[in-house]
């Protein structure tokens, strides 16, 4: 199977069991990983934080999640960054309801072409909707193999146990 929407895990952007104080801290860590690994402009981090403040991305998927993203102008290489969390982090629920949910997995969309965003979002949602493989990613204990597990999950290759 192919990766999500043709998007693969960006090298250096699989963050295993992150200890984040809050969503801003988590998004700063994820955005910094994208930038430091050469996949985004330095402006990506602040743009990501600002967009999340205006347009929350928390989702009530079987394993609560969030799909933050920013405008293509801040991205150098299309792909995904994925973080699991030591403790869930509160994200505003998508759709501006004012509700928050405790995300356990966060998938950062990095898209260079705006016309790819909707399709990529739909495919990430499909992966997040399959509870057992997502839970296996969240529960994966070995940081040395975490990137491989995330790549397998994103490509739809069964459970990530």
Give the C-alpha distances (Å, rounded to integers) separating 130 from 125, 133, 153: 9, 6, 10
Res 2: pLDDT: 43
The total number of residues written for the chain in this structure: 161
pTM score over 0.85: yes
The structure tokens 């004012």 sit at 98
Per residue in 32-69, pLDDT tens? 999 999 999 999 999 999 999 999 999 999 999 999 99
* pLDDT tens by residue, 80-99: 999 999 999 999 999 877 89
pLDDT at 72 over 60: yes
Q: Span 6-13, mean pLDDT?
A: 90
Confidence (pLDDT) at 80: 96
143 belongs to a structural domain: yes
pLDDT band at residue 1, thresholds of 50, 70 and 90? very low
Q: What is the pLDDT of residue 123?
A: 87
Q: In this structure, what DSSP letter does residue 107 have?
A: E
Residue 1 in any domain: the answer is: no
Q: Which CATH number does the domain housing residue 24 bear?
A: 3.40.930.10
The beta-strand segments (E) located in the chain are 9-18, 58-59, 65-66, 79-92, 100-110
In a domain? residue 160: no
Q: How many domains does the chain have?
A: 1
The reply to whether 3 falls in a domain is no
pLDDT of residue 4: 53
Average pLDDT across the chain, whole number: 92
Let me know if residue 99 belongs to a domain: yes
Sheet holding 58-59, edge to edge: 9-18, 79-92, 100-110, 65-66, 58-59
Q: What confidence tier does 132 reach under pLDDT thresholds 50, 70, 90?
A: very high
Q: Is 16 domain-assigned?
A: yes
The pLDDT of residue 160 is above 80: no
For 20, the domain range is: 8-151
pLDDT band of residue 161 (cuts 50, 70, 90) is very low
pLDDT tens digits for range 23-32: 999 999 999 9
Is 77 a domain residue?
yes
Residue 92 pairs in a beta bridge with: 100
């Amino acid at each position: 199977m192919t990766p999500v929407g043709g998007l693969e895990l960006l090298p250096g952007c699989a963050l295993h069991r992150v200890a984040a104080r809050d969503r801003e801290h988590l998004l700063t860590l994820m955005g910094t990983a994208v930038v430091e690994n050469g996949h985004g402009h330095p402006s990506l981090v602040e743009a990501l934080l600002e967009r999340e403040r205006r347009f929350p991305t928390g989702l009530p998927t079987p394993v609560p999640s969030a799909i933050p993203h920013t405008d293509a102008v801040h991205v150098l290489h299309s792909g995904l960054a994925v973080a699991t969390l030591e403790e869930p982090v509160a994200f505003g629920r998508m759709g501006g309801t004012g509700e928050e949910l405790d995300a356990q997995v966060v998938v950062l969309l990095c898209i260079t072409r705006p016309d790819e965003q909707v399709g990529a979002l739909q495919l990430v949602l499909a992966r997040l909707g399959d509870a057992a493989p997502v839970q296996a990613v969240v529960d994966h204990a070995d940081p040395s193999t975490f990137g491989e597990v995330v790549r397998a999950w994103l490509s739809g290759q069964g459970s990530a146990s």
